[in-house]
């Protein structure tokens, strides 16, 4: 597979010619730069975008295009929605600032389900799948998804409230051991560390909580000023950050990185019981999640349309 960033030359082999002629009466390829956004703004028709590594093996992946083609029939949903199908390389149009999408084995392979996104008439974007990734598209399930987008009743998966919970010795056992979730906890000293250090730490923890809101990881903080530190936690110099795997809560893991928002996220991603839904083991956002964020931004009506 071509393992390079989408939008950079050279494109994958067959990029210009992979799209079968038989589908061109109902399906379109993605245009360059802001043309999709500009045309969408004119009529505000619900829009479906289907991405895969089609240029690598159109013979194996033609089945996904066929499902979308049937859905786009004039007597089906073709009169209510626009349909775009393209190779992942063209997804650079959704993030023209830095071309950040990597077309590699980790993000999408010939054996993967396609990445499917839909924008409704108000610019709200939905993903055909859940937090963990895409799901199998068949005619019935994809039609239901598109119907909900067209009617404005589609809903996103429910994420947790992105909060960093306070914990104390009084609530320790109840919160730590009553849950089957992985747990991340930060110990800090409200007086020893100083206002500036703690203010930055709290901001970083809030940021981390937002990034983990769709994950099965609970995030806590504990002020150890005037309090005894729980056993097995070797707090050397607060703030200190630890991770407890769901089935290994007797064995806390200490973060050895210098603490900031990115190192804490990476530490959680490296040590979670199961790989995180949105992040790989290096703490990098996965392709399906990265695309969702940028496609949402692309269709966001509050953005300055003159950019497009």
pTM (two decimals): 0.91
Enumerate residue ranges in the chain where pLDDT < 70.
Answer: 1-5, 9, 99-100, 105, 193-194, 304-308
Which pLDDT does position 175 carry in this prediction?
87
271 φ/ψ sector (left φ>0, alpha ψ -120 to 50, else beta): alpha
pLDDT digits 0-9 by tens, 241-272: 999 999 999 899 999 999 999 999 999 999 99
Domains and CATH numbers, the chain: 4-157+286-307 (3.40.30.10), 165-271 (3.40.30.10)
Which pLDDT does position 38 carry in this prediction?
92
Which pLDDT does position 19 carry in this prediction?
97
């Amino acid at each position: 597979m071509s393992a390079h960033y989408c939008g950079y030359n050279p494109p994958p082999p067959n990029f210009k010619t992979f799209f079968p002629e038989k589908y061109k009466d109902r399906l379109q390829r993605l245009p360059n730069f802001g043309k999709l956004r500009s045309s969408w703004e004119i009529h505000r028709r619900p829009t479906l975008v289907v991405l895969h590594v089609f240029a690598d093996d159109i013979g194996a992946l033609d089945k996904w295009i066929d499902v979308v083609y049937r859905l786009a029939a004039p007597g089906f949903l073709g009169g209510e929605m626009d349909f775009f199908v393209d190779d992942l390389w063209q997804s650079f149009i959704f993030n023209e600032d830095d071309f950040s999408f990597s077309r590699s084995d980790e993000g999408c392979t010939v054996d993967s389900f396609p990445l499917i996104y839909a924008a409704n008439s108000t610019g709200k974007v939905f993903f055909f799948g859940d937090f963990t990734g895409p799901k199998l598209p068949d005619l019935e399930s994809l039609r239901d998804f598109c119907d909900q987008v067209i009617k404005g009743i589609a809903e996103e998966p429910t994420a947790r409230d992105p909060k960093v919970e306070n914990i104390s010795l009084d609530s320790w056992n109840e919160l730590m051991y009553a849950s089957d979730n992985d747990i991340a906890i930060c110990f800090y000293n409200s007086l020893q560390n100083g206002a500036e250090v703690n203010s930055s730490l709290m901001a970083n923890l809030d940021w981390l909580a937002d990034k983990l809101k769709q994950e099965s990881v609970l995030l806590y903080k504990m002020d150890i000023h005037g309090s005894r530190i729980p056993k097995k936690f070797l707090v050397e110099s607060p703030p200190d950050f630890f991770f407890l795997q769901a089935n290994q809560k007797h064995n806390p893991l200490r973060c050895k990185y210098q603490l900031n928002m990115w190192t804490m996220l990476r530490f959680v991603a490296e040590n979670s019981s199961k790989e995180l839904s949105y992040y790989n083991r290096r703490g990098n956002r996965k392709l399906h999640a990265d695309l969702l964020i940028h496609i949402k931004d692309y269709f966001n009506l509050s953005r300055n349309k003159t950019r497009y």
